[in-house]
Structure 1
C-alpha cells in the first residue's frame, strides 16, 4: 500500500514538473503566433501606404496636424532636377525679404563623396536637410575636408541675398529687390558659420532648393516630423526642353549624370545606359542616358503623392515651369499663398522682368538672368532633331501624359 502511494505521488510530481516545463513554451508559442498573424495582416496592406505608416511614430494623423500648427517656422524644399528652371524658381524665394534661402547645399555631399552613386548618397542628403532646416550648419563640416567653415563655404554664396546683405554684409539691402551681383558679394567679409545660424533663426520661412533628391520617398521622415513643418514644391518641365537644356550644358553635367546612372547599375537596363554606344561623344551619351532615369524618378514621385494621405497632399505643390514663365504673376501668387508669404508690387515687377527678357539663355550654364519665356519654352523644337525628340517621347511618354505635355508631330517637325 505504501509503495502504491509512493508511485502515485511520484507520478503527480512528475506530471506537475512536466506541466511547469511546458508553460513557458506555450506562452512563447502564443506570442509568436500573434506576431505572425499581425505580420501577415501588415503584409496584406497596400504597399503604397506603408511608407506613411511608420510603426516607430506614435503621433496619429490628427496629433501630427496639431503639432505642425504649433510650429512657428515654415520649411520648404524646392524639389527639382537639373535644367528645369529651378534656379529661377529659387530666386523668387531668395528675393523675398522674409525668406532664408539656400541654393543647392547638398552639392557639398556629392562633390565630397564622388564618385559615390546617387542612391547611396540619399540618406546623407536627407540628414543634411534635417540639420539645415534646424539652422544647424555644423553638418557642413563633414564635407569640408581641411577647409574652414564660413559664409564663403556655402555653395552659391555669392548669389545668396541673406549672406550678401546686412547685417552679414553691406553689399546689398535685404528689402531692395534685384539679382545679387557676384563681384559685389565676393568682396563681403567672410563670417563665422555661427553668425549665419543666428540669421537663419530670425526668418519665419526657410527654403532649400535642391536637385539631388532622386526619390521623394527619402524625405518621408522629414515630412512626418511635426517640428519641421515641411512643405514641398516640386517643379516639372517638358522632358524635351529639359533634354535640350541638358545637352546645351552637357560638360557641366557629366559627373552628376554618371552618379545618377551608377545608382541603377544593378539592372540590365541601366547597365546599357552606363555604357555609351558612341564613344566619340561620351559626355552627350551620359547626359542623354540620365534623362531616362529622371523621367522614371518623376513618375515614381507622382505615384507616391497620388497614394499619399491628405495631410501630405495639402503640404505638397506641383508646378510646371511653362506655367510659371507664361503666367508669372498668377503662379507667384499661388507659390506665396502656399508658403504663407505675401507678395508686393516690387516682387510682381521683378518676376515680370525675369520672364520678359531677350534670348533663350546666357552662354554660362546655371546663371540666373532675364529670359524670353516663349523662346526658353520652345527652343527644343529647333535644337533637337527628330530622332532625339522621338527618343525622349518614348521613355518619358507616361510622365508627359500625366503632366499634360502633348507629343510632337513629325509633320510639324
Structure 2
C-alpha cells in the first residue's frame, strides 16, 4: 500500500473513532444512561478534535504533494508584484460601463470580475500584432491561441464547437480542472505559453509545476485583466461568448484583405496541407459569414462588440489603438504607447515578428503576388471584398499602384 493510501486509511480510522466516541457518549446503552447522572457533553472539544484532524490532513497532504507547497509559495508572492504593476493605473470607476475603482474589484480571487478582452480573427490577419498591443497593458494575463491543439482547422460548428467553447469559457473563468489536454499540449510546444510573460517567467523557474492545472488556475485568478486571441473559432460560434453575461467579454472582430491573408500564409509551412488555411474559397466564405454575423452583433451588443480592419489599424495605429483600449474598458497606459513607439516604425525579425513598418505591412501582397495569383483569389472572394471594402486589382500594373482599401458599411 502506498504512503498516500496508508495516510488516508489512518485519517479514515481517526474520523471513525471520533464519531463513534461522540455517538457512544450521547447515545450509550439505556441501562447505563438510566443509572448515570446527567453530565453535559463537551461538544466543543469534539469539534476542536475534528478541526485539528482536518488541519493535520491538509498539512500531511502538503508533505505528500510537494507541488502544492510550491504552488502556494509561488502564489504568495504574486499579489504584491501585480499590485506594483498597477501602482499608477487609472481605474474606470464608472467609465466604459465598468464600475471597478480598485484592484480588488477586478481580481477573481477576491470575488472581483476581471476585464476580458477578446480578438476573433483568422490566421495571418494581424492578430499577433493586436494581441501584443493588448498584452502591453500592465497585469494582463494573455491566453494566446488557446485552440492550438485543435490543429489547422476552422471551427464552424459541430462536432468540435462545443468542446472549443468549453475550453475558452473555462480559461476565461480560470477553471483548468478539465483542461489537462490544453495544459499538456504546452509541455512540448513552448509557444503555447511563451506569449504570456507572467506565466512563462514562472514556468522557466518552476518547470515542476508549470504543467499542473492547479498552478494555472491559481495564477490566472490573481490577474485583473485577461486577453485572448482566437484564430480558429468563427464568429458564428464565438458570439456565444457575448451571450454569457457573467463573462462580460468585449470582443473585436479583426478583418484583413484576403489577398494579404493568403500571401502571408504562403510563408508558413503549416498552412498548405490544410484547405481551411490555403483555399481562397474557404477563407472568403468565412469572411462573408463573419460579416453577416457582425451586422447582427453590432445591433445586439453595441458596447461589447466592435469590428476593425487590419489595414486601418496599421495606417493609423495610435488613433485606433486608443479607441480600442476605450472600447475594451482599458486605460491607455504609457506601456501601450511605448509598445507602439517601438513596434510600428521599422521592420525587424522574421515573418512572425511584430516589429513592422505598420503603414507598409498590410500591402506586401501587391508586390509579392503575381497578378495571376491575385486574379484567382479575387474570383473566389468578390463578395467578401465588396462587403469589407477591398478594391479589385485590374492588371499587374494597376496592382502595384492603386489603393486597395476603401470605406465599408456594416449593413445588409
TM-score with structure 1 setting the length = 0.63
Residues 101 and 151 (structure 1 numbering): CA distance in 2 closer, same or farther, change over 3 Å? farther
Query: Which residue does the alignment assign to 1:158?
Result: 194
- 1:136 equivalent to 2:184? Answer no
The count of corresponding residues between Structure 1 and Structure 2 is 290
Residues 206 and 318 (structure 1 numbering): CA distance in 2 closer, same or farther, change over 3 Å? same
Deviation at 1:195, TM superposition (A): 2.7
Residues 85 and 138 (structure 1 numbering): CA distance in 2 closer, same or farther, change over 3 Å? same
Aligned partner of residue 332 in structure 2, secondary structure:
coil
Deviations 1:127-156 (A, max 9, x none): 111111110122321456xx5x88887752
User: Does the CA contact (< 8 Å) of 2:127 and 2:254 recur in 1?
Assistant: yes
Query: Which residue does the alignment assign to 2:126?
Result: 85
Tell me, in whole angstroms, the C-alpha distance in 2 between the residues paired with 1:340 and 1:190. 36
Query: Which residue does the alignment assign to 1:107?
Result: 148
Query: Which residue does the alignment assign to 1:98?
Result: 139
Query: Which residue does the alignment assign to 1:356?
Result: 345
Deviation at 1:80, TM superposition (A): 0.9
Deviations 1:367-413 (A, max 9, x none): 33311224322211111111111121222122222222221131424
Deviations 1:48-102 (A, max 9, x none): xxxxxxxxxxxxxxxxxx9999983332221010111111111112221132111
Tell me, in whole angstroms, the C-alpha distance in 1 between the residues paired with 2:259 and 2:188. 36
Tell me, in whole angstroms, the C-alpha distance in 2 between the residues paired with 1:126 and 1:76. 16
Deviation at 1:116, TM superposition (A): 10
Query: Which residue does the alignment assign to 1:194?
Result: 214
Aligned partner of residue 338 in structure 2, secondary structure:
helix
Deviation at 1:106, TM superposition (A): 0.9
Aligned partner of residue 319 in structure 1, secondary structure:
strand
CA RMSD of aligned residues (A): 3.2
Tell me, in whole angstroms, the C-alpha distance in 1 between the residues paired with 2:323 and 2:119. 14
Aligned partner of residue 313 in structure 1, secondary structure:
coil
Residues 317 and 154 (structure 1 numbering): CA distance in 2 closer, same or farther, change over 3 Å? farther
Query: Which residue does the alignment assign to 1:36?
Result: none
2:281 to 292, 310, 316: 292
Query: Which residue does the alignment assign to 2:270?
Result: 252
Deviations 1:250-293 (A, max 9, x none): x22135x24x3xxxxxxxxxxxxxxxxxxxxxxxxxx542x321
User: Does the CA contact (< 8 Å) of 1:150 and 1:190 recur in 2?
Assistant: no
2:294 to 288, 298, 305: 305
Structure 1 residues without counterparts, runs of 5 or longer: 1-65, 170-185, 261-286
User: Does the CA contact (< 8 Å) of 1:151 and 1:196 recur in 2?
Assistant: no
Query: Which residue does the alignment assign to 1:317?
Result: 306
- 1:388 equivalent to 2:377? Answer no
- 1:211 equivalent to 2:197? Answer no
Query: Which residue does the alignment assign to 1:338?
Result: 327
Tell me, in whole angstroms, the C-alpha distance in 2 between the residues paired with 1:125 and 1:155. 19
Deviations 1:203-224 (A, max 9, x none): 232111121103x221343221
Residues 334 and 151 (structure 1 numbering): CA distance in 2 closer, same or farther, change over 3 Å? farther
Aligned partner of residue 78 in structure 1, secondary structure:
strand
Deviation at 1:309, TM superposition (A): 6.8
Tell me, in whole angstroms, the C-alpha distance in 1 between the residues paired with 2:191 and 2:356. 24
User: Does the CA contact (< 8 Å) of 1:78 and 1:90 recur in 2?
Assistant: yes
TM-score with structure 2 setting the length = 0.63
User: Does the CA contact (< 8 Å) of 1:102 and 1:209 recur in 2?
Assistant: yes
User: Does the CA contact (< 8 Å) of 1:150 and 1:193 recur in 2?
Assistant: no
User: Does the CA contact (< 8 Å) of 1:234 and 1:317 recur in 2?
Assistant: yes
Structure 2 residues without counterparts, runs of 5 or longer: 1-96, 106-111, 400-412
User: Does the CA contact (< 8 Å) of 2:118 and 2:250 recur in 1?
Assistant: yes
